[in-house]
Structure 1
Amino acid sequence: MTVLTAVDGETTPSEAVERGAELASALEVEHIVLHVMPQDTFEEFRSAAGSGSSGAVTSPASYGGHDSRPTGEGDSYTIEDGERHATGVAREVVRDTLDNPDETVLMGRVGEPVEELLAEADRREADYLVIGGRKRSPTGKALFGSKTQSILLSANRPVVAVMSEN
C-alpha cells in the first residue's frame, strides 16, 4: 500500500509533498511522488527536439524552465524521455521540500494529469491520494476547470487536498 502525492512542478516547497510524507510515515507505507507532464507540453518538447539544433531541448516557458536532453537515436524526444523529465521535476520538488528525500519514490508520466494520476493510484492500490490546490471563490470554481475538483469527484479512494492561498 502507498500514499501517492501529485506535484505540478510549479510550487516548491510543496505542502502536498510535506503532508504526503507525514501521512506515509504515520501509516508506515511507501510514499510516491508523481509528476505528469501534460501531453501538449510533451509535444512541444518533441517538436523542439525534431528541429535538430544542438540536441539539447530547453523546456517551454510554461514548464518551469527545466532542461532535458533527449537520449537515444538522433534528436528525437520519446515518451521515455518525457517520463524521465517528469521524474526529474518530481525529484526537484521533493528535494526542495523534504529534509530526507531519499525515502520517497519518484515517478514521472506523460499524458492527461488527472487520468494518469488516477490510473497510477489504481495500479498502486494507493491508500490515499494527496494533491495540492488553490483556494478560489465559488465564482472562480464555476468559471474555470479544476484538476483538483476533477480528482476529488473521480477518485475511488480517500483524497487529501492541501489548499494554498496562491
Structure 2
Amino acid sequence: MPVLAAIGEKHQSNPVVSTAYELASALDEELLLLHVVPDEEFESHREMILDAVGTDDYSFRQEEQSAAQFSETVAKETLGDFDEERVRGVGRIGDPESTIVAAADEYDVSYLVIGRYKRSPTGKAIFGSTTQSVLLNTDRPTVTVAADGDF
C-alpha cells in the first residue's frame, strides 16, 4: 500500500516530501506525490495557455499531467539523490480537501502525509483549513508535518 503526500506550490511542501519519502522508504512502499490544482486555477491557467499558444485545445488531462510533473520536480529538488523508482507524481484538478481524501481512497494508501501551516485562529475561522478538513474526512492514518517551520 503506497504512501500519499499532498503537496502545494510553495517550498513549504519540501518538509512534507522529505517526511513522506522517509516513511515510504521505511515501509518499503511507493510514494505518491499528489498536487491538486483548484478548479478556478485550472480555468485561469487554461485561458492563459490558450491565449499564449493560440489554440483552443488544452484539456483537463493535460493539466493533470502538468501537475504530476510538477510533483516529480519538487521531489527532485527536495530529495536530491533518491530512489526514483519509489516516487511517482500524481496530478488532480478539483477541490483540494475532497480531492486529497478521494485520492487516498482511490490508491488505498497506508498513510497520508499533509502539511500544516501556521495560521491565526481568526484566519482558520474565516478561511478554514485544508489540513483540518482532510483530517476530519479521512479514515486513513495521517501524518501532519509543520511545513512552515512551526513545530
Q: Which of the five TM-score ranges fits, normalised by the shorter chain?
A: 0.7 to 0.9
TM-superposed deviation, 1:128:
0.7
> Could you say which structure has the higher helix fraction?
2
* RMSD, aligned α-carbons: 1.8
Q: Are residues 1:16 and 2:20 paired?
A: no
Q: What is the rounded CA distance, in whole Å, between the counterparts of 1:110 and 1:140 in structure 2? A: 25
Gaps in structure 1 of 5+ consecutive residues:
56-73
TM-score when normalising by structure 2: 0.88
TM-score when normalising by structure 1: 0.80
- Return the match for 1:113 from 89, 96, 118: 96
TM-superposed deviation, 1:48:
2.2
Cα displacement string for residues 100-159 of structure 1 (whole angstroms, at most 9, x for unaligned residues): 151211111111111111111101110110001212333332232111111111111111
Instruction: Decide whether aligned partners of structure 1 residues 42 and 155 sit closer, same or farther in structure 2, where only a CA change above 3 A counts.
Output: same
Give identity over the alignment, percent.
Answer: 41
Number of aligned positions between the proteins: 147
Cα displacement string for residues 56-77 of structure 1 (whole angstroms, at most 9, x for unaligned residues): xxxxxxxxxxxxxxxxxx4421
> Could you say which structure has the higher strand fraction?
1
The amino acid across from 1:79 in the alignment is F
Gaps in structure 2 of 5+ consecutive residues:
none
Question: Aligned residue for 1:100?
Answer: 82
Q: What is the rounded CA distance, in whole Å, between the counterparts of 2:22 and 2:60 in structure 1? A: 32
Q: Are residues 1:80 and 2:80 paired?
A: no
Instruction: Decide whether aligned partners of structure 1 residues 7 and 77 sit closer, same or farther in structure 2, where only a CA change above 3 A counts.
Output: same
